[in-house]
Chain A
């Protein structure tokens, strides 16, 4: 086999989304990673902007002026939506990764009922919690002055 050239076939990022008819947990997985990266980017930007205060009131005002306007407000709203999802799904993941809500080992009898089925109510609950947080955030950011 050593003289055979193998063709690489790792899915890469496509593996987060595509490859078949997948269940909702795969999309929660991908969204959790994307929102996590988004929040990290926002966090770094936030540090850069607020650190301008250390260089005097003028620099602070310039920095604040640069991040106002409807586009930035919408950006902040997206950050909040990402936060709501990441937090709610994060609670679900913390519970799962501590071995809760996946069920006990069982004798597998066809058609198999796996831990994916057992944790599904938790996944739906996490999405509902995220939706409630987003609704509250939407109301306070856009509707209530």
Chain B
């Protein structure tokens, strides 16, 4: 690919105000070393197709906006070097398994509202403590490692686009929301296992997953939702037999009583949230 000077984008386009069905349009741009798929899209928009629409923001694999199907694989456009694709012919389409809003923009709302339904936050009884913290909840480094990997999820939806169960079963919650259930269930500060168990009961729950592993293969952040879902199932089975370790929610570690502030160290600023 070292002598590549042009690159061709075949883009699946759909404008709800103009088209009845999606169709492909082809654009050729100059290639410069280091060009990402997202930068190529900007070039096309600036020079060839001002009405081309996609979603992106951070352009560094953090915001989760730019997930799309690139040469058959769900990936982040900003995170994908054209030179890594091994071809100068690109085929771009919106993430499958989501309705298309326009061009490369998928409607992620069903995924995000399912995620919201599954209590993706620390659930505890001591609401007053959470509103006005007087200390910190205990958590060891080992405890942290049990969920840290799953907390890197940026909600890009690539895993949902790759999952064969999501492809045929609209009731299945999917790898992103279920991965986050395991993320919070495993957090020792959390006591929400029971409410989430209710929330994932039935068709939408993890038992619809039969380890195709595609979610983990495409995840651009190494979250490994397939692993999270199998570990979630183990917890649910242990729970049925009353064998689930109940070390949550962890205790509050109050501020040390007799500690004195060292000279020259200023007070922390007031909390803003």
Contacts and interface: CB of A to CB of B under 8 A. Distances in A.
A26 B166 CA distance: 13
Interface stretch (A6-14, A61-69, A127-135): A6-14
A10 B97 contact: yes
Contact of A16 (B147, B150, B164): B164
Nearest to A13: B168
Interface string B8-38: 0000001010000110000000000000000
A98 B233 contact: yes
A109 B152 CA distance: 12
Nearest to B182: A105
Interface residues of B, number: 58
Given A20-B73, A21-B72, A99-B233, A105 B148 contact: yes
A46 B152 CA distance: 50
Interface string A70-100: 0000000000000000000000010011110
A50 interface: no
A9 to B, nearest CB: 5
Given A108-B221, A112-B222, A116-B226, A9 B72 contact: no
Nearest to B186: A105
Nearest to A14: B167
A77 B163 CA distance: 32
Contacts of B14: 7
A77 to B, nearest CB: 26
Nearest to B73: A20
A28 B226 CA distance: 15
Bin chain A's interface residue count.
35 or more
Interface of A is mostly: loop
B181 to A, nearest CB: 14
Residue among B71, B168, B210, B234 with most chain A CB within 10 A: B210
A110 interface: yes
Given A16-B168, A107-B145, A116-B213, A11 B227 contact: no
Contact of A105 (B73, B146, B209, B219): B146
Nearest to A20: B72
A120 B212 CA distance: 12
Nearest to A1: B101
A144 interface: no
Contacts of B72: 19-21
Interface in B68-105: 69, 71-74, 94-102
Contacts of B207: 97
A6 B224 contact: no
Given A4-B102, A29-B211, A114-B219, 6 more contacts: A6-B107, A26-B213, A93-B210, A114-B222, A115-B213, A115-B230
5 contacts: A32-B210, A33-B210, A99-B230, A105-B224, A112-B219
| Chain A to chain B: the 5 pairs with minimum beta-carbon distance, closest first | A15-B167, A108-B222, A99-B234, A20-B72, A112-B222
Interface of B: 14, 16, 21-22, 69, 71-74, 94-102, 106-107, 145-150, 152, 162-164, 166-168, 170, 186, 207, 209-214, 216-217, 219, 221-224, 226-228, 230-231, 233-235, 237
Interface of A: 1, 4-16, 19-23, 25-26, 28-30, 32-33, 93, 96-99, 102-103, 105-110, 112, 114-116, 119
